[in-house]
Structure 1
Amino acid sequence: MNEVKDGQVSKGQFEDYAIEQVPLEKRRSTLNVAITSCAWIISLSTIFTGGALVSGLSFSNTVWAAVFGMLLLGIYGYFQGWMGGKYGVSTTMLTRHAFGRNGANLFGVLLAITMGIGWFGWQISFFGITIAEMFPGKWFAIPEVAMVWGGLLMMLTAFIGYRGLATLSMIAVPLVVFLSIWGLLKAVNYAGSWEALFTSEPTGDPMPLFAGITIVVGNAALGAVVFPDVTRYGKSAYRGAFGASIGYFLGGVFCIIAGAAMAIAAQVPGLGSTPNIPAAMSKIGLGFLAFLILVFAQWTTNDNNLYTGSLGMRNVIRLPKAFIVCIMGGLGLAIALIGLQDYFVPFLNFLGTYVPPIAGVMIADHWFVAPKIRKKAYQFGVNTVYAKWNIAAIASVILGGWISTKLTFGIGAVNSTVLAFIGYIVLVFVLDKLNIAYEIGEKREDETGF
């Protein structure tokens, strides 16, 4: 366990290199990173996304929406993941160069509020309600009971760190692949043939393919932004980025197709606009296996929410990461038990609008602004000097996010990322030519990582 001594945090086994570079000897294989990233996207919400898509798209168009949507996320996540693999640091630490040391603190707080507390609590509530729907009348499936034991499981692997995430992923990913295959076979059996399945018509109001792609991207955009939290364990920049991108892509496509196939196979009424996936699982005969899949699918995703949030907050405060996980996880669980999670959703969606453009600025800073304009290479560790604030970076994120909400075309997360990417390069170029400072103050990293 980590201890705080004289204002410094000792580097115990649960600190997980939260504010330092992962040593090369601790890096993992490309397959390990890929499976861990795959487990990140495997979740109930992704399965439900597939079920929702077939209400407005044919099965074949649902597959295309899954492929194109996840491909977009894999491509821009690759550039994020490349930086994590090269430098071996978390997403929040990478923002120290692009946004300044204090700007990185703001990003860390943003991740803590959105992913580590808000969405963590919402997913716990979603888990409890889904288990109750799947197993009505069972004591372990009482929503509040399921929230507690489910929430504690999710906190456990986030507490351990990457080792815990990777170990769990090795179990969860094969299970969900099995679910995908089973769901497809059931759907083919119901439809009568593969041809009949792929030519099936939507069960609700038709939607254009582009709208389906937008739904896929919107469901998983935040995860691609924080790829460095996983790829920092890659053996190289390329291997980390490739592993995370291919794992995220395959996991998302598998889950979406599984949800779509089960919804078609079962033909059960939805819950309003939401597909009744638990009822579909029961109808096609998954039984106790469905329970295992539900548990592992949600566990592997929501522990990552808490993990990323804790890495963000560890960048801000001098407390052990394991302690931060417990506090944030407890807050998220309390929100779910009290029933306040839905009140946070509009606020979380608002904040989430400004997370994708952060990736746009980070990519622009690393590949263009730092080497071409600032002429300063990225480095991390003791005596590294950061600006306290990068006003141009912060302004580009705000403008990119705000303008994207006004556009009536394209995909919101992609629009805001591209706008911030272009806007940041242009803004820095102009300010540099006018000799106007956009970086304020200096902060030198000490031996504690602060």
Structure 2
Amino acid sequence: MLARILAIALLLLVLVAVPPFIGIGWQNAMVNMLIASLFAVAFNLLIGQAGLLSFGHAAFFGVGAFATLHLMLAVEEGALPLPTPLLPLAGAAAGCLVGAVAGYFATIRSGVYFALVTLAIAELLHSLAPHWEGLFGGEAGLSSMRLPWAGLAFGTSLEVYYLALAWTSLSIGLLWAYTRTPFGRLTLALRDNEQRVRFMGYNTHATKVIIFAISAMFSGVAGALLALSNETANYSLFATHVSAQVVLHTFVGGATVFFGPIIGASIFTLFAFFVSDATRSWLLYQGLIFVLVMLYAPHGIGGLLALHLRHWSRLRLRELLPGYLLAAASGLGLAGAVIFLVEISAVLFSPGYQAQRRQLETGYPPIQLFGLEWVPLSPLTWVVPLVLAAVGALLLPPARRRLRLAWDRILERAEAERSSGSLEPAEEVGR
């Protein structure tokens, strides 16, 4: 527990101390990272702890953003004096209210039917928002301005970042505290065996509505922070891709670990920040990462980290290092082949390249890629991805075999310790 507290304190120290020394682009990326992390943790309250998969959580994210913008407009007009740091309360209230109403109907069903109802709610708002100008501003959306408060102008990215950091830290802290309460334990019981919870005398429908409303409330806070950051919002916040993005963040980070969604959201936000300027195919790479994580690490990156931390005292570097090195080499080879093929195909089928072909009438002109010139009709061009793919494919089986044997030994040592009674109770429960 002490190590966990120290790690969180160190992380907060870095988040507080580093931003003044980086550029505006980085500061904006970190604001987006904080917002995505809060949204993912709020969403994970449903899927990771209650076992309820929502495909329409963008509804509450967007409602929180629009509620905050309406409050910002009221403050700007002088109708309601409210400090700028308290504006996300509007997003929390709107998210909770809409979440309670939507959750009442959505939680009547479970499984795929629950997911489809939540998707329908988000799509309803997405279709309605462009035509409801009084509430959502029509297709143009709503815009407002952050007003000064207590000597802070909130006119720079750095000030907005610290506001987002404060609200994100507070919200995630409250969600963490929720997991330690009796109701948080009831949420886990509901996920594991809803029928048994019902037999114990609990109203499972009312319980799910409360959980849904809490998740929607903190999703509304995330939307409010986005509204404060951008000072504008439109109906695209209700789009399917927003709901899909938070699902991707949560599962890649690890839905079974509380801090897993933060890992997934941070990785993909920074991934978009770095890669989106380098290639138009960055969404394809993002999808490939999601598929690979689901295939080879179904518990997510956070689940992998938790597994290593849980067995830290039993890990042997000489057992794991060869397997991990082979896996890294295999991954680099396969990734290099995929990136090469995707990027050269994007150039070959681009309208600009096709126009160049028609203009020159010389077949396939050379392509500039990765700082080199590649001739599409030359066999040497295609040898590169073939070699990379072959190396990656050849190294993958021995890497998996070595890692499987290494982890079998680690789990055998853990089982032997458990049988001998040398495991501490908390560690045994963790397994």
* Higher helix fraction (1 or 2): 2
| TM-score normalised by length of structure 2 | 0.30
Whichever of the two has the greater Rg, that structure is 2
